Amino acid sequence: MADFSKSVIVGTAGHIDHGKSALVEALTGTHPDRLEEEKRRGITIDLGFAFLAETGVRFGFVDVPGHERFVSNMLAGAAGVDVLLLVIAADESIKPQTREHFDICRLLGVKRGVVAITKSDLVDADTAGLVRLEIEDYLRGSFLEAAPIIPVSAKTQAGLTELKQALLAAAEQSAGRDVARYFRLPIDRAFAIKGFGAVVTGTLISGSAGSNDEVELFPTGQRLRIRGVQSGGAAVERATAGQRTAINLAGIEHSALRRGMVLATPGKFRATRRMDTRLELLRSSPKMKHRSRVHFHAGTCETVAELVFFGQKELAPGQSAFAQLRLQDEVLVLPGDRFIVRQFSPVTTIGGGVVLDPLARRPTVRDTGRAAFLEILERGEGTEILAAMTERALLGLHFEEIVARTGWLEAEIRAAAKNLADSGQIKIVSTEPLNLVSGRVFEEVRQRISARVEKFHKENPLLPGILREDLRSSLGRRVRPETFRAALEELLAQKKLETQGEIIKRAGAAISLDPEEARAKEQIEKAFAVAGLAVPSVKEVLGKLPVEARRAEKILQILLRDKTLVRVTPELIFHRDALAQLRDRLVTYKKSKGGRISVPGFKELTGITRKYAIPLLEYLDRERVTRRAGDERVIL
């Protein structure tokens, strides 16, 4: 039966011992603590999970540890949360990890949530009222300002119905994640199940996954096949975004899989160690200096990052700035992904931000456009972003790179590209695969091609034009073949240039000879014309000319190109008329003496020596005037 329920992830947050796990159990019937050590110590150490199916909504609960030493585990769980369940104990009110967890959820961009005042059975009405006031005060101006605050007790079950209602209401408002996008699953657990092999779990943050799908493991790049998928504790055909998901993988040992790795649609993305971001420091953070090191958390992964500011030496508490993060390890992130930074030591949460460009370039003094570019990325308007990306890609922007740097779908990219091409901002230099250059770069290439052709004509008046390949390589490696081809095609279509075979020339360009050259040309032609088939050597003819060897050679080329002369072998050149006469003679011969001629017969017919006869016969064979048959030729 099809299930049209909405899938929503609820994440707990709050100080140690405030009753998060007990509340999840009270709501779902499942105690989320799984580890022996957790049971023994009575605290949560790592993430725990539980499910609850209500009418219209399937809740996946992610229960996090409150202990300050396990905040990095909490971070791995908080990454996919749609609805925050902020847990505050009535007998303790707001404590340090209440604040830290809440800051983290805000920095991670969680949009909505519900506040539960737990252990309400332990306090009297006055204390309960006071705690509520404190909480209201604390949340003022935050994303939870208008969130319901519900006193509950896991012990007496008081308030649970109300809390469920509030969670349902929040779930209904939750935007839901995009199933149509590329698949991404940050792994939070990896283990083996006997008879099945490697299994990973995680919150499916985008797209969907089903049996037999091929996926790519990041950052290693391995391609793996999905053997089976579970969601909410049961096997499903496809798991979709917003669901807790377990994936059984073929082709890998569970020991090669770790929290922090990501499964994604294969062949689309690139792991990165350098990203441009908007970084925000908490008011409680110390000021951070350019190049200071921090702990970096995104999705379920954790590494060390160096903060690189652009044109500022430090960032003050409560402030935000564009910053490049240089990571110690490769991660997979996409624009819009949130991250958290924690102080190197002592380890406390100091800020976070949003990824703007996951494949950022190394900062250089010459790159003055970065801030403006990042502002455009931050505004998030697709067409504008594509224009700016194309503008910065001097060599052209390929489809694959656009996907890896944006996570956009093909249809979105093509629509934006068309838009920009129509307005002339960019040029689509190839559609399959899509390749873009900025309108400005394209115009520059067009102009360089025209200028190069002009220059060639000027320097080589005796040549009809420049060879296409020479023209292309003269523009340098920074002009990619597709860009060259598109620019050239446009110039040809506009009749600014012309082609003649492999030669490119200015439209209407003709070779102009000076009087001396014209005379030399006549002289060459005449030398071969009068020689008939007993032609002189090329060297002999050119040696007698009034112009120097290089020019003489070019004039000879002109005659060969317009087919006045024909090169039969590298050494032997004949006049067109002499060859035409030869063909006529063969026709007459065939009529009177039959369709076959021997080499001696040919020599007799033409009155030439073997030195000319053999190359000429071979030429005639190539031209299909004759065909060799034993010692003779058949005249065709």
Ligand X SMILES: Nc1nc2c(ncn2[C@@H]2O[C@H](COP(=O)(O)OP(=O)(O)OP(=O)(O)O)[C@@H](O)[C@H]2O)c(=O)[nH]1
- Kindly tell me which of 37 and 502 has the beta carbon lying closer to ligand X: 37
Smallest gap from Cβ 24 to Mg ion, in A, equals 8
CA quadruple 143, 146, 152, 158: dihedral, nearest 10 = -150
- Name which of Mg ion, ligand X, none residue 17 binds, using a CB cut-off of 5 to 8 Å depending on partner kind: ligand X
Task: Report yes or no: 458 and 449 within 8 Å, Cβ to Cβ.
Answer: no
Interface map 32-51 toward ligand X (x if CB under 6 A): ----------xxx-------
Closest CA to 358 of 381, 337, 340, 379: 337
CA distances from 128 to 94, 116, 185 (A): 13, 12, 40
Length of the chain: 636
- Name which of ligand X, Mg ion, none residue 174 binds, using a CB cut-off of 5 to 8 Å depending on partner kind: none
Site membership for ligand X, residue 6 (CB under 6 A): no
Task: Report yes or no: 602 and 569 within 8 Å, Cβ to Cβ.
Answer: no
Interface map 138-157 toward ligand X (x if CB under 6 A): ---------------xxx--
Sole residue written with tokens 């903060």: 307
Interface map 376-395 toward ligand X (x if CB under 6 A): --------------------
Smallest gap from Cβ 296 to ligand X, in A, equals 24
Q: Look at strands 596-598 and 632-635 and give their pairing.
A: antiparallel
Q: Of 12-20, 365-373, 526-534, 561-569, which segment contacts Mg ion by CB under 5 A?
A: 12-20
Site for ligand X in 308-327 (CB under 6 A): none
- Name which of Mg ion, ligand X, none residue 30 binds, using a CB cut-off of 5 to 8 Å depending on partner kind: none
Q: Of 19-27, 166-174, 212-220, 616-624, which segment contacts Mg ion by CB under 5 A?
A: 19-27
Closest CA to 73 of 206, 260, 241, 285: 260
Site membership for ligand X, residue 28 (CB under 6 A): no
Q: Of 44-52, 176-184, 282-290, 481-489, which segment contacts Mg ion by CB under 5 A?
A: 44-52
Q: Which amino acid is at 196?
A: F
Closest CA to 163 of 175, 155, 153, 174: 153
CA quadruple 239, 240, 243, 246: dihedral, nearest 10 = 30
Site for Mg ion in 20-39 (CB under 5 A): 20-21
- Name which of ligand X, Mg ion, none residue 19 binds, using a CB cut-off of 5 to 8 Å depending on partner kind: ligand X
Closest CA to 115 of 170, 47, 55, 54: 170
Interface map 8-27 toward ligand X (x if CB under 6 A): ------x-xxxxxxx-----
Smallest gap from Cβ 63 to ligand X, in A, equals 7
- Kindly tell me which of 119 and 457 has the beta carbon lying closer to ligand X: 119
- Name which of ligand X, Mg ion, none residue 153 binds, using a CB cut-off of 5 to 8 Å depending on partner kind: ligand X
Copy the structure tokens of residue 179.
């199933």
- Kindly tell me which of 67 and 561 has the beta carbon lying closer to ligand X: 67
**What spatial distance separates the first Cα and last Cα of the chain, rounded to whole Å?**
79
DSSP-derived secondary structure for 69-86: GGHHHHHHHHTT-SEEEE
Task: Report yes or no: 41 and 17 within 8 Å, Cβ to Cβ.
Answer: no
Which residue in the shown chain puts its C-beta closest to ligand X?
Answer: 66
Site for ligand X in 592-631 (CB under 6 A): none
- Kindly tell me which of 122 and 529 has the beta carbon lying closer to ligand X: 122
- Kindly tell me which of 162 and 384 has the beta carbon lying closer to ligand X: 162
Task: Report yes or no: 224 and 214 within 8 Å, Cβ to Cβ.
Answer: yes
* Interacting residues of 574 by C-beta distance below 8 A, sequence separation 6+: 528, 533, 535, 565, 566, 568, 616
- Kindly tell me which of 15 and 184 has the beta carbon lying closer to Mg ion: 15
Number of residues this chain uses to bind Mg ion (CB under 5 A): 3
Task: Report yes or no: 533 and 610 within 8 Å, Cβ to Cβ.
Answer: no
Site for ligand X in 122-141 (CB under 6 A): 122
For residue 383, give the H/E element and its range: helix 382-392
d(Cα 274, Cα 355) in Å, to the nearest integer? Answer: 10
Site for ligand X in 51-70 (CB under 6 A): 65-67
Strand order in the sheet with 426-431: 397-398, 434-438, 426-431
Smallest gap from Cβ 16 to Mg ion, in A, equals 8
Site membership for Mg ion, residue 342 (CB under 5 A): no
Site membership for ligand X, residue 119 (CB under 6 A): yes
d(Cα 190, Cα 246) in Å, to the nearest integer? Answer: 9
d(Cα 524, Cα 531) in Å, to the nearest integer? Answer: 11
Is the bond preceding 433 in cis, omega lying within 30 degrees of 0? yes
- Kindly tell me which of 122 and 614 has the beta carbon lying closer to ligand X: 122
Smallest gap from Cβ 122 to Mg ion, in A, equals 17
Among 5, 68, 109, 121, which residue interacts with ligand X (rule: CB under 6 A)? 121
23 half-sphere exposure, CB direction, 13 A CA radius: 36
d(Cα 442, Cα 448) in Å, to the nearest integer? Answer: 10
Smallest gap from Cβ 142 to ligand X, in A, equals 21
Closest CA to 162 of 126, 130, 114, 119: 114
- Kindly tell me which of 17 and 280 has the beta carbon lying closer to ligand X: 17
- Name which of ligand X, Mg ion, none residue 285 binds, using a CB cut-off of 5 to 8 Å depending on partner kind: none
Interface map 283-322 toward Mg ion (x if CB under 5 A): ----------------------------------------
- Kindly tell me which of 91 and 444 has the beta carbon lying closer to Mg ion: 91
Largest CA distance in the chain: 131
Copy the structure tokens of residue 133.
């006031």
Q: Of 13-21, 374-382, 445-453, 600-608, which segment contacts Mg ion by CB under 5 A?
A: 13-21
Site membership for ligand X, residue 118 (CB under 6 A): yes
Q: What is the CA radius of gyration of the chain?
A: 39
Smallest gap from Cβ 109 to ligand X, in A, equals 23
Interface ranges with ligand X (CB under 6 A) = 14, 16-22, 42-44, 65-67, 118-119, 121-122, 153-155
**What residues line the site for Mg ion (CB under 5 A)?**
20-21, 44
